[in-house]
Structures are given as structure tokens and as C-alpha cells.
Chains A and B, each alone.
Chain A
Amino acid sequence: MAGKLRKQVRRALADETLQAALSRFTMLTRFGRQMGMTGIDFEALRQDLHERKKKAIDDLPALVRQFKENAAASGAVIFEAENAGKANDYIAGLARELGVKHIIKSKSMLTEEIGLRHHLEQRGIRVDETDIGERIVQLAGEKPAHLVGPAIHKTAEQIASLFSELLGEQVSSDSQPLLDTVRRSLRQSYLDAGMGISGANIAIADTGTIVILTNEGNGQLVTTLSPLQVAVVGIEKIVRGFEDANAVLRLLSRSCVGTKMTIYTSFITGTGRAGEVCGMPLPGGQGPRELHIVLVDNGRSRMRDSDDFREALYCIKCGVCLNVCPVFASLSGQTYGHVYQGGIGTILTAFYHDRERSRELAEMCLGCMSCKSVCPAGIDIPGLIRRMRAKHVEEKGLAAGKKLAYRMILKHPARLEGAVRTCARLEGPFLDADSMIKSLPYPLRSITDTISLPGLQTILLGDRMTAYKSPVAGKAPKVAFYSGCITSFAYPGLGEDVMRLLERYDVAPYYPQDQACCGAPAYFAGDSGTALALARHNIEALSGQEPDYVVTVCPGCAVMLKKEFLSLTAGEPALHERALHLSGKVRDLSQLLSELGPGRGIKAAAVGRVTYHDPCHLRRGLGISAEPRKLIESAGYELVEMNDADACCGFGGDTLLAHPELCGSVLQRKLANIEATGVDTVVTGCMPCVLQLRGGLHKKGSPIRVVHIAELLAGRF
């Protein structure tokens, strides 16, 4: 099964038309969001929306009752469907009862989720999608590529040929005439159809109102022109009042398109009526005579009941998480297989469609946290994915290879060291003149197809740190250096640079010898047991000599020590207390150096130009982006910003093993941005990023140098 997804990934990566479309799409949406965020306090607005959605989901059973009562009082007919089949049968039954042969439909992810169109078409009913993008994928017989832009992967030529076939005439692929043709063909559908089906972006319990947003205007037509309207509404869309709806409206369009508001926002309450003619009232007016609201559960209550995944119900389906996702940018939506895409789609897929597929999709997440940083509902999508992985491990156990790697080796620091030393002795034949490994045999070959790997060392960092076993007595502050595995095993020289550097800042650095892996690989793969064992070990190792600070060169480790140890130890109050104490001392190197003030004897004379890559865990995990830039400039370097400096380098830990081609594609975008700056050095602040960027550039034979900021600064004293 996993092999199937990998094949689908490869196919998407090899599709040049798709890749070109995705690159246009990414550029456009990035620009859109920038525009949308101008002039607002995003953090305050999303906090507000998060709280309102949280409250609504907490109160959901009461809100559903209230919505039903008020909608019924305003003239709507309510049907509650606990699953897809019941919703589909109800709507098909309505069509049959009223002799409806032709339906117009506006875009609704929920109707895709339940397969409504297919269900109706199988019963001989013609269903015309009216969102232009959705119409295109309908004609192509495909699923939507994106929550908001279903046809982002289609070229004008492909679209023209779909409509040529539909209309039996030659349709031009020039954008304007093509659009005119599409509009004309849709117009006729609206006038002819006997039923209109829409979704709803929001439902308001206080008034029984449904809110429908479209930029094209098709939502207006679908909900007005047909004598019969059906709105298919997920129960998680219900909020209490108008102010809650406003909180959604304030961020939805700003997030996904970049405009302040969606162009048409319709609040529909019940059915309409016209004034009187000859003293007789005219029910329905020019809108539908009947409004049926189908409230769909289909797994939502189950999600609500699971504390771990309830947050996914806050999603307002704006799609901005897809717009910033490096994996989505390489694949587009069809690769995900069901209806919902990206990180949030991975969670929704588990509840609405297919647990096994969800497990596979979860393996693609690079953990870059881009989605989390832009989500208007404040959903911790990477956290949901990690919990999903943990749940799979809990239920099905770890895969054999991971079990060996995490539980038998990683968990035991001495075994891990032994394994590294053994590999270091065996790797000789694979090393090139730069001490890099360009090619390994199966099963590791696919990794070295993407990046060259650094040779492992036989003299590890611990061996070189014997002079730094404890801080110089009487000197303060005491700074414990936590190196992380990559520094320790592959780049021990960097550890030595860090110690020299810290001495220039007049602190008492030392290297706690008993430190172990932070547990991140196991933690993010869902192996919480191994992660907890390592948290316990490290809390002990790092607390021993009562440091004032614990400094890291790897923000991934820092996030573990500072944040994740807290959640891992939540069940053990005494240990948790110690984790909390440790958490307050953890500093990223650039952060600590900035706090300490300028180092003694640093050369500030101009030396050259460099660019800087923001590590995901540093920028989004710890919120640090200004400090390293200032340090670089204060050391005499001119900083040339690259495009998308904060985009992921594609390292992604386990993902590199499961989907090396995918990681490679994310890496290539990063390398292109680095190369475009024209500088010969890229600085970053994270060892996995260093490994990935060095490996990628070496593989390409590029002369561009990658340095950790510790190395850069150590060279300026």
C-alpha cells in the first residue's frame, strides 16, 4: 500500500504540466495572503476565531438543537443524516418525489466527501457543478485538487478540450473566449434546473441561517433560481450567533485569496415570499419554494468525542494550509487520494474515509509547521498529525525497521554510539574526496539519490569534549551545551566551535557527557514510549550541574527540550516539574548570544555576502528569526535575503526515508532560491538543515558553502 502512494507521488513529481501549474499557484497564493494580512492584527483575530470555534464545538449538541428549531421556524425542512448514505438517500428521494431530472450545484467539499453527485448521477439525474473549477474537474472525471481551487492543476488547453467535448463545438483556449463559453453554458443550466444544491460555510444557530460564500456568484444563482433548494451542511459549521459568523468572515477570504471579503456572502434564512398580487400572498417569491437543510455528521461526532482530534473540527476550509504546505506544493490535491488534502486532510481522511490511507499520508508531513503558522482557526495541524501517528503506533505497533531503530538503538545512548562507530568504520569505501557519501546500496540508495550524506566520525563529540566535563568553577553563567546527534556523530568540529564561541562571550560552557538523543525521531513517528524514556534520560543528564542555560545548535532538539518534554511528562508530576525547570533554561545559540551581548574581540570589518535559511523549528517552533540575521550582520557579512527564506529545506526526518523523492523536490525549490541570490555561502541555524542543504548542493556539484551560524561566528574571532 505504501508503495502505491510512493508511486503516485513520483507520478505527480514527474508531471511537468502539474509542476508548472503548482509553482504558479504557490506564487499567486503567497502574494494573496500577504495582501490579505495587511492592516489587520492576525494573531488577535485568529485567537478570537479559535475561541469562538472551540466554544461552538464544545456546545455543539445544544447548538444543533437550536439551529434545527430556528431554521424550522423560518420555513426550512431539516434532515439529520448520521452518515453519507443517509444524506445521499434523502436528497435522491427528494429529487425522485418531485420529478427532478436536472440539478445545479455549487461547490461543497462535504458533498464531495459523501459522494453526492455520483450517487445522484447513478440514479439518472443530471447534476451540473456551477463553480467553474469544480465544473472542470467534473468534466475531467477527477477529484478537486484543492479545497478552494479544485482545478488549479489544469491548463487552458485541457479546459478548452473538456468544454469542446461537452458542447460539441471547437472551444478556444484563449482565456477570455474560453471563460465566456463556460459562463454561457452554465447560464443555461441555471435556467433549466429543477433543484439547486449548495453547501454552507457557516450556519447560525440563533437565527437558523445558513451562510454561503462564492466569488464567482454561482452560489447566488444556485440558491435562488431553482424551485427547490437543498443545503448540505456539516454540523461542525454551526456557530451560535452573527458575531461568530463575522469572526469567520474576517479571516476566511483574507487567508485563502487575500481579499477582505468573499465577493458574495449570502445569509439565507428559510424560504422567501413576494408581496401580494390581487390580495393573495406569493410564497417562495422568486427564490426556492422549499429549502431542505441536510445536517451531516458522518464521523464528526466521533471526532468531537476524541480529545486528541476535536480541534480538527475548528477548520473553516479556507485552504491556506495547503497554499503554504511544501508537500502540497510538490503534489497538488489528487495525490492524497480521497477528498481532503494536505495536513488537515490527513486527519479528516482518517475520520471520513480511510484510516490506512491517513496513516500513509501522515508519513508525508515534513513537520515544518507552515500550516500551523497561518491557520486562521489556530489549529495545531502538525500536532494533530503527530497524535495520529501515535494513535496508529498504539493500535498497530511500530513498523519493524522503526522498532529496531527507535526502541533497540535510539533509546539506548551507548548502543546508538556503538552503531555510529561501527558505521563509521564500514563507510570508508563509500566516501568521496570530500568525505561525503554520494551513493549507498539498497535500501538506503533512494536517500543518496536525493542528497549526499556526510561521513560519520569515529571520534565523536563526547570524545573531544573531555576538557569540558564541567563548567569553570566560580564563573557564571553556566551554559550546558546540548549538541544533538548530527553534531555529535557527523559534525563534531561544530561542537568545538560552539565551545570556543561561548568562551568569547565570557560564560562558563560545559558539555554534559551523559546527554542522549532528544527523541524527536521517535516522538514524531508516534513512538511516545521511546521519546519519554529519552526525555527522562536527558532531564537527568542536563540538570546535574545546575546550568543557568542549556544551549542548542539544533532548534528541533530545542523544541523537544523546551516544549515537547512538557507534554511527554504530563503524566508524572515530579518529572514534569523538572521538565518545566529545564524548559525555562533552554536557548537556541543565536538567541543566547543575542541575550549575552557582543562577544569579546569579534571582527566587524566587511567580509562578504551570505544568504540565510530560516530553519522551520527555529522560526516557527521558537519564533526566532531576527536574532541570527543581526548576528550575521554584526560579524561583518552583508545579508542577501533569498525568496521564501522560511520555506522548509525538505529534511523532514522519517519522511526522507519514506518519500525521498518528495523531500528532494522540496529541497530543489530551496536550492533554486539559494542559487538565485548569487552568493557563495548560505548560513543557517540547524544541523538537519545543514545536512540536507550540504547534501543537496554536493549532489549537484555546487560550490556553494553551507555553514551553521556557530561556524560562521567562530571564524570571526
Chain B
Amino acid sequence: MPRHTSLRRSIIVAIVAWIVFGFVLPPIHLDGKSMEPTFHDGSYHFYWRQSYLFASPARGDVVAIRFAGKKVVLLKRIIGLGGDTIAFENGVLFRNGHPVPEPYVRFRSNWNLKPRKVRPGRLYVVGDNRGVPMSQHHFGQVNSSRILGKVIW
């Protein structure tokens, strides 16, 4: 194969990889146990940046949430949309006054949180690992503009 063809191919592969992994399917390296057992500490995943271009975030979606930028992100599950009322009673999630079955939760401790309404334009997110004390778990309502995309793998 001529050298210039090989070089051209390498450049094309590099550009395609840059576009795909930079703007379409960015990779995430998980550091922490807040999404156990669905996602394990140290594992790699991808989120789909365009997932909410034509659709709205839905309850049950696992999403990437940005902080000041996109290098360090949070991975959480959406359990409530704007207008929903969220509460925890003895570790069981209550949405709009009804208990919600959560097959993805395997570690559950005695979480208790008084009912609170999710404000419009916000989403209520929490990790799947409820085995840790509530005070040590990052969860709550987040502005939907911070959602970077849905985790697809």
C-alpha cells in the first residue's frame, strides 16, 4: 500500500474517532460505587450526546450530569420529572404518593426523605446504590440543562 494512502486512512480514522468519541458517544470512566450494582467502580461506559435532541429525559434513564465542564461528570438515574413529588420511606422510593418498584436496586438501607416537589425544568436523580447512608450519597434535583446525555452502554 502506498505510504500516502496509509497516512490518509490514519488521518480519516483519527478524525472520525475524534468526532464520535468527542461529540457523539463520549466515554466515561466510572470512579465510585454510587451506581452499583448496575455500573461497577472502574468500568467504562459511553453516553449518547444526542439522546435528548428530539426526546425528553424519562424516568429510569441513567444520565451523565456535568459540573463546571465535561471532564468530570456524575452518573445518576432519573427517578422524577418536573412536577413529580419524591419521597423515601424506609428505603422505598415513593413517587407522587405511590411506592415505585426498582428492580435495579439491590443494596437498600433505611433512607427516609420527606416528600418534595421537583421544580419545573428540573429532574430528580439518584444512584442505584442505596446501601450507603443517605448523607454520603449525592442525589437530588438537578437542572435539566446539566444533562449531557443518556448512558447507553
Say whether A associates with B. no
A interface list, Cβ under 8 A from B: none
